[in-house]
Amino acid sequence: MRLTLPLLVLVMLTPLAVAQPKPGVTDAEFGTAPEIRDPDNEAKPYRPKSKITAYTLVNKSGAWVKILTLGGIVAELHVPDKDGKLGDVVCGFDTIDGYLKDSPYFGCITGRVCNRLGNAKFTLDGKEYAVPANNGKHSLHGGQYGFDKMVWKADASLSAKGPTLKLTYTSPDGSQGYPGDLSCVVQYTWTDANELRIDYSATTNKTTVVNLTNHSYFNLGGHASGTILDHEVKLAADKYTPGDDTLLPTGKIEPVKGTPFDFTTATKIGARIKDIKATPVGYDLNYVHGDKRTAETKWCATVTEPKTGRTLEVSTTEPGVQFYTGNFLDGKVKGKGGAVYPQYAAFCLETQHFPDSPNKPTFPSITLKPGDEYRTTTVYKFGTAK
């Protein structure tokens, strides 16, 4: 067939189709984490000097997520907008240096106990345990050297649901003051339906406490797109655990109705944020949508970004979720591509048992005994508004 000149020019100017990434898992070196010494046991460092690997999980649609062996960090998460354009919707860093020096828990696994433990102590079977106070007088996210600082062993595979990364780590007896050797497994599955499924499990050889979560900072407009104040949020919870001026729960469980904390109907994050009496101003509290862990995941939150049309639905087996709006971000942290993350640059939905549960007898227990298994699941499903 002979081409006319205009058609020939058109063919010559048409860009070649970009190859679609193949579904599966690839890995690459991401840097080296230095040794962290244990001041109480020089022969056994908290973390030996370790090479860090980044695993990239690609599903059948070409959407993908990058996860690090350092802290199980979700470093990148690329999902389509309403026009099919992929965008990275989690805050993070391009190199390991940021995660080692400046990270406000971007994307990591937090434990042995996520969130706050009041006065950095708890009592278990009549014995008081002291843990590091790294958040004023309280302990936050497992202490100074929590699970976010540890290097996890990785095993990648392809499952029927999509590419999977299985991470394992054993926290030794006495680490950060916690009793028992705690053997943990956190499995990320990136499904073909653009779901990031996280399955957590743990066993112990001594009675201990455990409460694990993921601390990803989401901005559905794109990690460098500004604030999340226009995002609309709907939560299943009609109750919350009010906190004191240090953000530690008081032990009460109260209704959200009539407060700025009511998201039982879809509401913009910025609509009532200035009505919150806190320093800094913003949402940083535990929402209650159950009184115990369930066998199957249940919906707990939906977030919609109006410009891109991206949506996030969260379901979990946990009875609570910490909704946090990046109140402590201040524009000083430089992230991927030189992005500056201002206050309210992202939100977190950290599924969990309630903060300070070991010190609040009325809260659901996070005690784990030998012979029992801690097991919980959370699913972050990405889509677009119809």
Distance CA(364)–CA(209), nearest Å, equals: 12
DSSP string of 86-144, one letter each residue:
EEE-B---SSHHHHHHT-SSTT-EE-SB-SEEGGGEEEETTEEEE----BTTBEETTST
Amino acid at 59: N
Helix extents (H) in the chain? 5-13, 96-101
- In Å, what is the CA distance from 342 to each residue of 99, 286, 345? 17, 23, 5
Q: Cα-flanking dihedrals φ and ψ of residue 273, to 5°?
A: -60, -30
| Residues 222 and 89: beta-carbon distance below 8 Å | yes
| Residues 324 and 350: beta-carbon distance below 8 Å | yes
| Residues 210 and 178: beta-carbon distance below 8 Å | no
Of 175, 156, 139, 174, the residue nearest 47 (C-alpha): 175
- In Å, what is the CA distance from 262 to each residue of 162, 283, 305, 333? 36, 11, 19, 30
Residue 34, classed as helix, strand or coil, is coil
The end-to-end CA distance of the chain, in Å, is 44
Which of 76, 141, 350, 353 is catalytic? The answer is: 350
Among this protein's residues, is 254 annotated catalytic? no
Tokens 């345990």 correspond to what residue?
A: 129
- In Å, what is the CA distance from 314 to each residue of 22, 302, 323? 27, 6, 12
Which of 78, 138, 141, 215 is catalytic? The answer is: 215
Among this protein's residues, is 350 annotated catalytic? yes
Other C-beta atoms lying within 10 Å of the C-beta of residue 329:
22
Distance CA(295)–CA(214), nearest Å, equals: 19
| Residues 220 and 303: beta-carbon distance below 8 Å | yes
Distance CA(341)–CA(385), nearest Å, equals: 26
Q: Which residues are catalytic?
A: 215, 350
